[in-house]
Protein backbone atom coordinates (compact mmCIF):
# COMPACT_ATOMS: atom_id res chain seq x y z
CA UNK A 1 0.00 0.00 0.00
CA UNK A 2 2.88 2.34 0.74
CA UNK A 3 3.99 2.25 -2.89
CA UNK A 4 0.40 2.75 -4.08
CA UNK A 5 0.21 5.92 -2.00
CA UNK A 6 3.56 7.12 -3.36
CA UNK A 7 2.43 6.45 -6.93
CA UNK A 8 -0.84 8.33 -6.39
CA UNK A 9 1.01 11.38 -5.05
CA UNK A 10 2.55 11.82 -8.52
CA UNK A 11 -0.87 12.26 -10.14
CA UNK A 12 -2.94 14.25 -7.64
CA UNK A 13 -4.91 16.29 -10.20
CA UNK A 14 -5.43 13.49 -12.72
CA UNK A 15 -8.72 11.60 -12.88
CA UNK A 16 -8.38 8.28 -11.07
CA UNK A 17 -11.97 7.00 -11.11
CA UNK A 18 -15.12 7.66 -13.11
CA UNK A 19 -18.11 6.25 -11.26
CA UNK A 20 -21.88 6.83 -11.39
CA UNK A 21 -21.37 9.76 -13.75
CA UNK A 22 -18.85 11.49 -11.47
CA UNK A 23 -15.10 11.96 -11.85
CA UNK A 24 -12.68 11.63 -8.92
CA UNK A 25 -9.01 12.63 -8.83
CA UNK A 26 -6.13 10.84 -7.15
CA UNK A 27 -6.29 13.60 -4.55
CA UNK A 28 -9.94 12.65 -3.84
CA UNK A 29 -8.96 9.01 -3.51
CA UNK A 30 -6.16 9.78 -1.06
CA UNK A 31 -8.37 12.10 1.00
CA UNK A 32 -11.41 9.82 1.22
CA UNK A 33 -9.43 6.65 1.88
CA UNK A 34 -7.62 8.48 4.66
CA UNK A 35 -10.95 9.36 6.26
CA UNK A 36 -12.06 5.72 6.07
CA UNK A 37 -8.77 4.55 7.59
CA UNK A 38 -8.99 7.03 10.46
CA UNK A 39 -12.58 6.03 11.21
CA UNK A 40 -11.75 2.31 11.20
CA UNK A 41 -8.82 2.87 13.57
CA UNK A 42 -11.09 4.39 16.25
CA UNK A 43 -8.09 5.99 17.96
CA UNK A 44 -5.74 3.04 17.49
CA UNK A 45 -2.40 3.40 15.74
CA UNK A 46 -2.70 0.25 13.59
CA UNK A 47 -5.40 -2.36 12.83
CA UNK A 48 -2.59 -4.92 12.97
CA UNK A 49 -4.06 -7.24 10.38
CA UNK A 50 -7.69 -7.12 11.53
CA UNK A 51 -9.95 -8.44 8.79
CA UNK A 52 -12.39 -5.86 7.45
CA UNK A 53 -15.15 -7.24 5.23
CA UNK A 54 -16.80 -4.79 2.86
CA UNK A 55 -19.51 -4.73 0.22
CA UNK A 56 -19.87 -1.98 -2.36
CA UNK A 57 -20.73 -1.96 -6.05
CA UNK A 58 -17.81 -1.52 -8.48
CA UNK A 59 -17.28 2.19 -7.88
CA UNK A 60 -15.24 4.99 -6.33
CA UNK A 61 -16.66 3.95 -2.95
CA UNK A 62 -15.37 0.40 -3.41
CA UNK A 63 -11.88 1.73 -4.18
CA UNK A 64 -11.90 4.10 -1.22
CA UNK A 65 -12.91 1.30 1.16
CA UNK A 66 -10.18 -1.06 -0.04
CA UNK A 67 -7.50 1.64 0.13
CA UNK A 68 -8.78 2.84 3.51
CA UNK A 69 -8.55 -0.67 5.00
CA UNK A 70 -5.00 -1.04 3.70
CA UNK A 71 -3.92 2.39 4.96
CA UNK A 72 -5.19 1.52 8.46
CA UNK A 73 -3.18 -1.71 8.53
CA UNK A 74 -6.14 -4.02 7.99
CA UNK A 75 -6.72 -6.95 5.66
CA UNK A 76 -9.38 -6.22 3.02
CA UNK A 77 -12.03 -8.91 2.54
CA UNK A 78 -14.29 -7.93 -0.39
CA UNK A 79 -17.68 -9.65 -0.53
CA UNK A 80 -19.53 -10.52 -3.73
CA UNK A 81 -22.85 -8.73 -4.17
CA UNK A 82 -24.24 -11.66 -6.20
CA UNK A 83 -23.57 -14.21 -3.48
CA UNK A 84 -26.42 -15.31 -1.21
CA UNK A 85 -26.34 -14.30 2.45
CA UNK A 86 -25.08 -17.71 3.72
CA UNK A 87 -22.02 -17.39 1.46
CA UNK A 88 -21.27 -13.94 2.86
CA UNK A 89 -21.76 -15.21 6.41
CA UNK A 90 -19.30 -18.02 5.71
CA UNK A 91 -16.62 -15.49 4.70
CA UNK A 92 -17.28 -13.27 7.72
CA UNK A 93 -17.22 -16.23 10.11
CA UNK A 94 -14.16 -17.79 8.49
CA UNK A 95 -12.09 -14.58 8.60
CA UNK A 96 -13.50 -13.52 11.99
CA UNK A 97 -13.96 -10.08 10.50
CA UNK A 98 -13.84 -7.21 12.98
CA UNK A 99 -16.00 -4.94 10.86
CA UNK A 100 -18.44 -5.08 7.96
CA UNK A 101 -18.53 -1.86 5.95
CA UNK A 102 -21.12 -1.42 3.21
CA UNK A 103 -22.71 1.15 0.95
CA UNK A 104 -26.28 2.07 1.76
CA UNK A 105 -27.97 -0.01 -0.96
CA UNK A 106 -26.85 -3.19 0.83
CA UNK A 107 -28.09 -2.20 4.27
CA UNK A 108 -31.26 -4.32 4.17
CA UNK A 109 -29.48 -7.34 2.71
CA UNK A 110 -26.65 -7.28 5.25
CA UNK A 111 -28.57 -6.34 8.42
CA UNK A 112 -29.06 -10.04 9.39
CA UNK A 113 -25.25 -10.25 9.65
CA UNK A 114 -24.84 -7.14 11.81
CA UNK A 115 -24.47 -9.19 15.00
CA UNK A 116 -21.57 -11.12 13.48
CA UNK A 117 -19.14 -8.19 13.69
CA UNK A 118 -18.09 -5.61 16.27
CA UNK A 119 -18.56 -2.75 13.82
CA UNK A 120 -21.45 -2.74 11.30
CA UNK A 121 -20.87 0.45 9.39
CA UNK A 122 -22.43 2.26 6.43
CA UNK A 123 -19.89 4.00 4.20
CA UNK A 124 -22.19 7.03 4.01
CA UNK A 125 -21.90 7.47 7.81
CA UNK A 126 -18.12 7.88 7.72
CA UNK A 127 -17.21 11.56 8.28
CA UNK A 128 -15.09 13.16 5.56
CA UNK A 129 -12.58 14.60 8.00
CA UNK A 130 -8.94 15.02 6.93
CA UNK A 131 -6.68 12.15 7.97
CA UNK A 132 -4.08 13.18 10.55
CA UNK A 133 -1.99 10.02 10.45
CA UNK A 134 0.41 8.16 8.19
CA UNK A 135 1.02 4.48 8.87
CA UNK A 136 3.90 2.74 7.13
CA UNK A 137 2.86 -0.77 6.09
CA UNK A 138 5.57 -3.39 5.67
CA UNK A 139 5.30 -5.17 2.34
CA UNK A 140 5.39 -8.59 4.02
CA UNK A 141 2.09 -7.93 5.79
CA UNK A 142 -1.13 -9.58 4.59
CA UNK A 143 -3.30 -7.27 2.50
CA UNK A 144 -6.17 -9.15 0.90
CA UNK A 145 -8.25 -12.31 1.33
CA UNK A 146 -10.13 -13.51 -1.75
CA UNK A 147 -12.19 -16.69 -1.70
CA UNK A 148 -11.89 -19.48 -4.24
CA UNK A 149 -15.03 -20.87 -5.89
CA UNK A 150 -15.07 -23.92 -3.63
CA UNK A 151 -15.75 -26.53 -6.33
CA UNK A 152 -14.18 -29.29 -4.23
CA UNK A 153 -15.41 -28.27 -0.76
CA UNK A 154 -15.84 -25.06 1.19
CA UNK A 155 -14.21 -22.00 -0.40
CA UNK A 156 -10.69 -21.26 0.80
CA UNK A 157 -9.51 -17.77 1.68
CA UNK A 158 -6.45 -16.91 -0.41
CA UNK A 159 -4.17 -14.53 1.53
CA UNK A 160 -1.91 -12.23 -0.49
CA UNK A 161 0.57 -9.77 0.96
CA UNK A 162 1.29 -6.20 -0.14
CA UNK A 163 4.49 -7.58 -1.65
CA UNK A 164 2.58 -10.24 -3.62
CA UNK A 165 0.19 -7.60 -4.95
CA UNK A 166 3.01 -5.27 -5.95
CA UNK A 167 4.72 -8.12 -7.83
CA UNK A 168 1.45 -8.99 -9.61
CA UNK A 169 0.85 -5.38 -10.62
CA UNK A 170 4.35 -4.47 -11.75
CA UNK A 171 4.71 -7.59 -13.90
CA UNK A 172 1.54 -6.60 -15.78
CA UNK A 173 2.14 -2.85 -16.00
CA UNK A 174 5.57 -3.58 -17.46
CA UNK A 175 4.54 -6.38 -19.82
CA UNK A 176 1.38 -4.66 -21.06
CA UNK A 177 3.00 -1.20 -21.18
CA UNK A 178 0.52 0.67 -18.99
CA UNK A 179 0.86 4.45 -18.80
CA UNK A 180 -0.91 7.38 -17.17
CA UNK A 181 -2.61 8.11 -20.50
CA UNK A 182 -4.58 4.87 -20.36
CA UNK A 183 -8.32 4.78 -19.69
CA UNK A 184 -9.94 1.41 -18.95
CA UNK A 185 -13.58 0.37 -18.57
CA UNK A 186 -14.11 -1.97 -15.60
CA UNK A 187 -17.16 -4.23 -15.87
CA UNK A 188 -15.84 -7.12 -13.80
CA UNK A 189 -16.93 -8.41 -10.36
CA UNK A 190 -14.79 -6.83 -7.66
CA UNK A 191 -14.27 -9.88 -5.45
CA UNK A 192 -11.92 -11.44 -7.99
CA UNK A 193 -8.28 -10.88 -8.94
CA UNK A 194 -9.23 -10.01 -12.56
CA UNK A 195 -11.16 -6.88 -11.62
CA UNK A 196 -9.16 -5.92 -8.53
CA UNK A 197 -5.59 -6.41 -9.76
CA UNK A 198 -5.53 -6.58 -13.58
CA UNK A 199 -7.91 -3.68 -14.11
CA UNK A 200 -8.32 -1.37 -11.10
CA UNK A 201 -4.92 -1.72 -9.43
CA UNK A 202 -2.87 -1.66 -12.64
CA UNK A 203 -4.69 1.52 -13.69
CA UNK A 204 -4.16 3.27 -10.35
CA UNK A 205 -0.52 2.18 -10.13
CA UNK A 206 0.06 3.81 -13.53
CA UNK A 207 -1.75 7.08 -12.90
CA UNK A 208 -4.40 6.04 -15.43
CA UNK A 209 -8.20 6.29 -15.25
CA UNK A 210 -10.51 3.43 -14.30
CA UNK A 211 -14.13 3.93 -15.36
CA UNK A 212 -16.71 1.71 -13.68
CA UNK A 213 -19.84 0.26 -15.26
CA UNK A 214 -21.39 -1.53 -12.27
CA UNK A 215 -23.69 -3.77 -14.30
CA UNK A 216 -22.89 -5.31 -17.67
CA UNK A 217 -25.03 -4.03 -20.53
CA UNK A 218 -23.88 -4.47 -24.14
CA UNK A 219 -25.41 -1.22 -25.34
CA UNK A 220 -23.85 0.80 -22.49
CA UNK A 221 -20.46 -0.83 -23.05
CA UNK A 222 -20.45 0.13 -26.73
CA UNK A 223 -21.78 3.61 -25.92
CA UNK A 224 -18.85 4.04 -23.52
CA UNK A 225 -16.41 2.92 -26.22
CA UNK A 226 -17.88 5.37 -28.71
CA UNK A 227 -17.12 8.29 -26.38
CA UNK A 228 -13.51 7.94 -27.53
CA UNK A 229 -11.66 8.12 -24.19
CA UNK A 230 -11.37 4.40 -23.39
CA UNK A 231 -8.38 2.65 -24.93
CA UNK A 232 -7.97 -0.51 -22.79
CA UNK A 233 -10.52 -3.25 -22.13
CA UNK A 234 -10.39 -6.54 -20.24
CA UNK A 235 -13.20 -9.07 -19.98
CA UNK A 236 -14.07 -12.75 -19.75
CA UNK A 237 -14.99 -14.79 -22.86
CA UNK A 238 -18.71 -14.74 -21.98
CA UNK A 239 -18.74 -10.95 -22.16
CA UNK A 240 -17.03 -10.91 -25.56
CA UNK A 241 -19.56 -13.50 -26.74
CA UNK A 242 -22.47 -11.29 -25.64
CA UNK A 243 -20.94 -8.17 -27.20
CA UNK A 244 -20.47 -10.01 -30.50
CA UNK A 245 -24.08 -11.23 -30.47
CA UNK A 246 -25.35 -7.69 -29.78
CA UNK A 247 -23.14 -6.17 -32.49
CA UNK A 248 -24.42 -8.69 -35.04
CA UNK A 249 -27.98 -7.41 -34.58
CA UNK A 250 -27.12 -3.74 -35.15
CA UNK A 251 -27.62 -1.80 -38.40
CA UNK A 252 -24.51 -1.41 -40.56
CA UNK A 253 -23.99 2.27 -39.69
CA UNK A 254 -23.92 1.47 -35.97
CA UNK A 255 -21.60 -1.50 -36.58
CA UNK A 256 -19.16 0.72 -38.46
CA UNK A 257 -19.20 3.33 -35.71
CA UNK A 258 -18.36 0.73 -33.05
CA UNK A 259 -15.66 -0.92 -35.16
CA UNK A 260 -14.02 2.45 -35.82
CA UNK A 261 -13.97 3.15 -32.07
CA UNK A 262 -12.53 -0.29 -31.24
CA UNK A 263 -9.83 0.03 -33.88
CA UNK A 264 -8.31 2.91 -31.89
CA UNK A 265 -7.85 0.85 -28.70
CA UNK A 266 -4.35 0.12 -27.42
CA UNK A 267 -5.04 -3.22 -25.72
CA UNK A 268 -7.81 -5.79 -25.33
CA UNK A 269 -7.43 -8.78 -23.00
CA UNK A 270 -9.44 -11.94 -22.35
CA UNK A 271 -9.08 -14.14 -19.28
CA UNK A 272 -10.59 -16.03 -16.30
CA UNK A 273 -11.76 -18.82 -18.63
CA UNK A 274 -10.60 -20.46 -21.85
CA UNK A 275 -11.23 -18.23 -24.87
CA UNK A 276 -12.89 -20.12 -27.75
CA UNK A 277 -10.99 -19.54 -30.99
CA UNK A 278 -14.32 -18.80 -32.67
CA UNK A 279 -14.91 -15.89 -30.28
CA UNK A 280 -11.36 -14.59 -30.81
CA UNK A 281 -11.81 -14.64 -34.59
CA UNK A 282 -15.26 -13.00 -34.48
CA UNK A 283 -13.98 -10.21 -32.20
CA UNK A 284 -11.00 -9.63 -34.47
CA UNK A 285 -13.34 -9.04 -37.43
CA UNK A 286 -15.30 -6.52 -35.38
CA UNK A 287 -12.45 -4.70 -33.63
CA UNK A 288 -9.31 -5.34 -35.64
CA UNK A 289 -7.68 -6.69 -32.45
CA UNK A 290 -6.40 -10.17 -31.64
CA UNK A 291 -7.38 -10.53 -28.00
CA UNK A 292 -4.42 -10.94 -25.66
CA UNK A 293 -4.87 -14.19 -23.73
CA UNK A 294 -3.16 -14.68 -20.40
CA UNK A 295 -3.22 -17.20 -17.57
CA UNK A 296 -3.55 -16.75 -13.84
CA UNK A 297 -5.58 -17.61 -10.78
CA UNK A 298 -6.53 -16.23 -7.38
CA UNK A 299 -3.46 -17.74 -5.73
CA UNK A 300 -0.93 -15.99 -7.97
CA UNK A 301 -2.50 -13.23 -10.01
CA UNK A 302 -1.16 -13.57 -13.56
CA UNK A 303 1.72 -15.94 -14.32
CA UNK A 304 1.75 -16.39 -18.10
CA UNK A 305 0.81 -13.95 -20.86
CA UNK A 306 0.90 -13.53 -24.59
CA UNK A 307 3.20 -10.79 -25.83
CA UNK A 308 1.88 -7.23 -25.99
CA UNK A 309 3.88 -6.43 -29.13
CA UNK A 310 4.61 -9.87 -30.56
CA UNK A 311 2.54 -12.46 -32.39
CA UNK A 312 -0.41 -14.01 -30.55
CA UNK A 313 -1.40 -17.57 -31.42
CA UNK A 314 -5.13 -18.37 -30.91
CA UNK A 315 -5.68 -20.85 -28.11
CA UNK A 316 -2.24 -20.21 -26.60
CA UNK A 317 -1.43 -18.21 -23.45
CA UNK A 318 2.16 -17.19 -24.17
CA UNK A 319 5.19 -17.25 -21.87
CA UNK A 320 5.88 -16.59 -18.16
CA UNK A 321 5.74 -12.97 -17.03
CA UNK A 322 8.84 -11.24 -15.70
CA UNK A 323 9.93 -12.69 -12.37
CA UNK A 324 7.76 -15.80 -12.75
CA UNK A 325 9.14 -19.32 -13.32
CA UNK A 326 6.96 -22.08 -14.79
CA UNK A 327 7.42 -25.81 -15.31
CA UNK A 328 5.23 -28.72 -16.49
CA UNK A 329 5.30 -31.98 -14.52
CA UNK A 330 3.70 -35.43 -14.75
CA UNK A 331 1.77 -37.29 -12.06
CA UNK A 332 5.07 -38.31 -10.42
CA UNK A 333 6.05 -34.64 -10.19
CA UNK A 334 8.79 -35.11 -12.78
CA UNK A 335 9.39 -32.53 -15.52
CA UNK A 336 7.85 -33.65 -18.82
CA UNK A 337 9.62 -33.56 -22.17
CA UNK A 338 8.74 -30.74 -24.56
CA UNK A 339 5.52 -31.46 -26.43
CA UNK A 340 4.12 -33.58 -23.59
CA UNK A 341 1.23 -32.37 -21.45
CA UNK A 342 1.76 -31.76 -17.76
CA UNK A 343 0.53 -29.83 -14.74
CA UNK A 344 1.57 -26.18 -14.56
CA UNK A 345 3.67 -25.41 -11.47
CA UNK A 346 4.77 -21.87 -10.64
CA UNK A 347 7.33 -20.03 -8.50
CA UNK A 348 7.70 -16.28 -8.02
CA UNK A 349 7.06 -13.26 -5.77
CA UNK A 350 3.47 -13.18 -7.06
CA UNK A 351 2.51 -16.43 -5.30
CA UNK A 352 0.10 -16.13 -2.37
CA UNK A 353 1.13 -16.41 1.27
CA UNK A 354 -1.35 -19.02 2.55
CA UNK A 355 -4.90 -20.26 2.69
CA UNK A 356 -6.51 -18.51 5.65
CA UNK A 357 -6.45 -20.74 8.74
CA UNK A 358 -5.81 -23.84 6.60
CA UNK A 359 -2.17 -24.88 7.17
CA UNK A 360 -2.66 -28.38 5.72
CA UNK A 361 -4.33 -27.07 2.57
CA UNK A 362 -1.49 -24.55 2.22
CA UNK A 363 1.11 -27.28 2.57
CA UNK A 364 -0.69 -29.50 0.07
CA UNK A 365 -0.73 -26.69 -2.51
CA UNK A 366 3.08 -26.69 -2.80
CA UNK A 367 5.75 -29.24 -3.63
CA UNK A 368 8.60 -29.84 -1.20
CA UNK A 369 10.73 -27.55 -3.39
CA UNK A 370 8.21 -24.71 -3.07
CA UNK A 371 6.47 -24.95 -6.47
CA UNK A 372 2.80 -23.97 -6.41
CA UNK A 373 0.66 -26.73 -7.91
CA UNK A 374 -1.99 -25.06 -10.08
CA UNK A 375 -3.92 -28.19 -11.05
CA UNK A 376 -4.10 -26.90 -14.63
CA UNK A 377 -2.82 -29.00 -17.52
CA UNK A 378 -0.90 -27.45 -20.41
CA UNK A 379 1.49 -28.31 -23.23
CA UNK A 380 4.43 -26.30 -24.58
CA UNK A 381 4.20 -25.98 -28.35
CA UNK A 382 4.83 -23.31 -30.99
CA UNK A 383 7.29 -21.73 -28.51
CA UNK A 384 4.56 -20.99 -25.95
CA UNK A 385 2.06 -22.61 -23.59
CA UNK A 386 -1.40 -23.89 -24.47
CA UNK A 387 -3.92 -24.73 -21.74
CA UNK A 388 -5.65 -28.10 -22.06
CA UNK A 389 -7.86 -27.69 -19.03
CA UNK A 390 -8.28 -28.12 -15.31
CA UNK A 391 -6.97 -31.46 -14.11
CA UNK A 392 -10.14 -32.26 -12.17
CA UNK A 393 -12.81 -31.17 -14.67
CA UNK A 394 -11.34 -30.47 -18.10
CA UNK A 395 -9.04 -33.47 -18.47
CA UNK A 396 -11.20 -36.52 -19.17
CA UNK A 397 -9.65 -39.94 -18.59
CA UNK A 398 -11.52 -42.21 -20.98
CA UNK A 399 -10.47 -45.60 -22.39
CA UNK A 400 -6.88 -45.12 -21.26
CA UNK A 401 -6.57 -41.69 -22.92
CA UNK A 402 -6.22 -38.26 -21.31
CA UNK A 403 -8.51 -36.03 -23.34
CA UNK A 404 -8.91 -32.25 -23.23
CA UNK A 405 -12.56 -31.22 -22.90
CA UNK A 406 -11.57 -27.79 -24.22
CA UNK A 407 -10.36 -29.31 -27.51
CA UNK A 408 -13.70 -31.08 -28.04
CA UNK A 409 -15.62 -27.91 -27.18
CA UNK A 410 -13.58 -25.96 -29.71
CA UNK A 411 -14.43 -28.51 -32.41
CA UNK A 412 -18.15 -28.50 -31.52
CA UNK A 413 -18.38 -24.71 -31.71
CA UNK A 414 -17.43 -24.83 -35.38
CA UNK A 415 -20.66 -26.65 -36.21
CA UNK A 416 -23.18 -24.16 -37.71
CA UNK A 417 -26.05 -25.42 -35.55
CA UNK A 418 -24.17 -25.21 -32.23
CA UNK A 419 -24.22 -21.86 -30.46
CA UNK A 420 -22.32 -22.89 -27.31
CA UNK A 421 -21.33 -26.10 -25.54
CA UNK A 422 -19.79 -27.68 -22.46
CA UNK A 423 -18.00 -31.04 -22.36
CA UNK A 424 -17.45 -33.14 -19.22
CA UNK A 425 -16.33 -36.61 -18.21
CA UNK A 426 -18.85 -38.68 -16.24
CA UNK A 427 -17.84 -41.77 -14.22
CA UNK A 428 -18.38 -44.95 -16.20
CA UNK A 429 -17.49 -48.55 -15.35
CA UNK A 430 -16.42 -49.48 -18.89
CA UNK A 431 -14.60 -46.32 -20.00
CA UNK A 432 -13.45 -44.84 -16.70
CA UNK A 433 -15.13 -41.62 -17.77
CA UNK A 434 -17.68 -41.17 -20.52
CA UNK A 435 -17.40 -38.05 -22.71
CA UNK A 436 -20.66 -36.09 -22.48
CA UNK A 437 -21.55 -32.85 -24.25
CA UNK A 438 -24.20 -30.25 -23.39
CA UNK A 439 -25.24 -28.17 -26.38
CA UNK A 440 -27.01 -24.86 -26.93
CA UNK A 441 -28.31 -25.03 -30.49
CA UNK A 442 -29.60 -22.53 -33.05
CA UNK A 443 -32.29 -24.92 -34.37
CA UNK A 444 -35.31 -26.59 -32.82
CA UNK A 445 -33.71 -30.03 -32.92
CA UNK A 446 -30.46 -31.69 -33.93
CA UNK A 447 -29.33 -35.18 -34.96
CA UNK A 448 -26.74 -36.37 -32.43
CA UNK A 449 -25.47 -39.16 -34.71
CA UNK A 450 -24.90 -36.62 -37.46
CA UNK A 451 -22.98 -34.42 -34.99
CA UNK A 452 -20.75 -37.37 -34.06
CA UNK A 453 -20.10 -38.20 -37.71
CA UNK A 454 -19.28 -34.56 -38.41
CA UNK A 455 -16.83 -34.45 -35.47
CA UNK A 456 -14.92 -37.46 -36.87
CA UNK A 457 -13.66 -35.21 -39.64
CA UNK A 458 -11.57 -33.29 -37.10
CA UNK A 459 -11.25 -35.55 -34.02
CA UNK A 460 -10.22 -39.19 -33.51
CA UNK A 461 -13.05 -41.54 -32.54
CA UNK A 462 -11.96 -41.82 -28.89
CA UNK A 463 -12.59 -38.07 -28.46
CA UNK A 464 -16.18 -38.18 -29.78
CA UNK A 465 -18.88 -37.60 -27.10
CA UNK A 466 -20.96 -40.66 -26.25
CA UNK A 467 -23.87 -38.71 -24.80
CA UNK A 468 -25.45 -35.36 -25.66
CA UNK A 469 -27.94 -33.09 -23.93
CA UNK A 470 -29.67 -29.94 -25.20
CA UNK A 471 -29.78 -26.98 -22.79
CA UNK A 472 -31.16 -23.44 -22.96
CA UNK A 473 -28.08 -22.17 -21.14
CA UNK A 474 -24.96 -23.48 -19.40
CA UNK A 475 -24.53 -23.14 -15.62
CA UNK A 476 -21.94 -20.45 -14.88
CA UNK A 477 -20.40 -18.72 -11.89
CA UNK A 478 -20.28 -14.94 -11.46
CA UNK A 479 -17.09 -14.70 -13.55
CA UNK A 480 -18.80 -16.41 -16.50
CA UNK A 481 -16.97 -19.72 -16.14
CA UNK A 482 -19.02 -22.81 -16.93
CA UNK A 483 -19.40 -24.81 -13.70
CA UNK A 484 -18.46 -28.25 -14.97
CA UNK A 485 -19.47 -30.06 -11.78
CA UNK A 486 -23.03 -28.78 -12.26
CA UNK A 487 -22.94 -30.00 -15.88
CA UNK A 488 -21.85 -33.47 -14.72
CA UNK A 489 -24.93 -33.76 -12.53
CA UNK A 490 -27.16 -33.42 -15.61
CA UNK A 491 -25.78 -36.71 -16.93
Q: Is 451 part of a structural domain of the chain?
A: yes
Instruction: Tabulate helix, strand, coil % of the chain (nearest 5).
Output: 35, 25, 40
156 CA to centre of own chain: 16
Average pLDDT, the chain: 93
Q: Is 206 part of a structural domain of the chain?
A: no
pLDDT band at 150 (very low <50, low <70, confident <90, very high): low
Residue 43 has pLDDT above 60, yes or no: yes
Q: Is 190 part of a structural domain of the chain?
A: no
Q: Is 323 part of a structural domain of the chain?
A: no
Residue range(s) defining the domain that contains residue 403? 395-489
Q: What is the CATH number of the domain that holds 449?
A: 3.30.300.30
Provide the domain count of the chain: 1
Sequence-distant (≥ 6) Cβ neighbours of residue 449 within 8 angstroms:
none
pLDDT band at 304 (very low <50, low <70, confident <90, very high): very high
Judging by beta carbons within 10 Å of its beta carbon (0-12, 13-18, 19+), is residue 82 exposed, middle or buried?
Answer: exposed
Q: Is 96 part of a structural domain of the chain?
A: no
pLDDT of 1 reads 67
Of all residues in the chain, the percent with pLDDT exceeding 70 is: 99
Q: Is 196 part of a structural domain of the chain?
A: no
Q: Is 197 helix (H, G, I), strand (E, B) or coil?
A: helix
Q: Is 440 part of a structural domain of the chain?
A: yes
Lowest mean pLDDT among 156-165, 204-213, 385-394, 448-457: 385-394
Q: Is 20 part of a structural domain of the chain?
A: no
Residue 152 has pLDDT above 60, yes or no: no
pLDDT digits (tens, 9 = 90+) for 212-258: 998 899 999 999 999 999 999 999 888 998 999 999 999 999 999 99
Sequence-distant (≥ 6) Cβ neighbours of residue 54 within 8 angstroms:
62, 65, 66, 69, 76, 77, 78, 79, 100, 101, 102
381 CA to centre of own chain: 25
Amino acid sequence: MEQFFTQAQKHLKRTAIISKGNSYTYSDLISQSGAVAQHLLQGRVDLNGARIAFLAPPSFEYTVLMWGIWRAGGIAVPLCEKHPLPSMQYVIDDTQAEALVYTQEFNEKLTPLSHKVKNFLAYEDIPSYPATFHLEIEKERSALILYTSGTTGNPKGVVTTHQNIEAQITSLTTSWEWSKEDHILNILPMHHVHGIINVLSCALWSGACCEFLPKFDSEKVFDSFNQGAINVFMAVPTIYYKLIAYWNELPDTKKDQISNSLNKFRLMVSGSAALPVSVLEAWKKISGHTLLERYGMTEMGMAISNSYNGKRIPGHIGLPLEGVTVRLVDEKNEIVTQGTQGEIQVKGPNIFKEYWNKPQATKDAFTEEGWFKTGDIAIFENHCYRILGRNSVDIIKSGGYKISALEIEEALRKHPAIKECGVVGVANEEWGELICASLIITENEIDFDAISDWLKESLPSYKIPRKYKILDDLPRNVMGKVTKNELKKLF
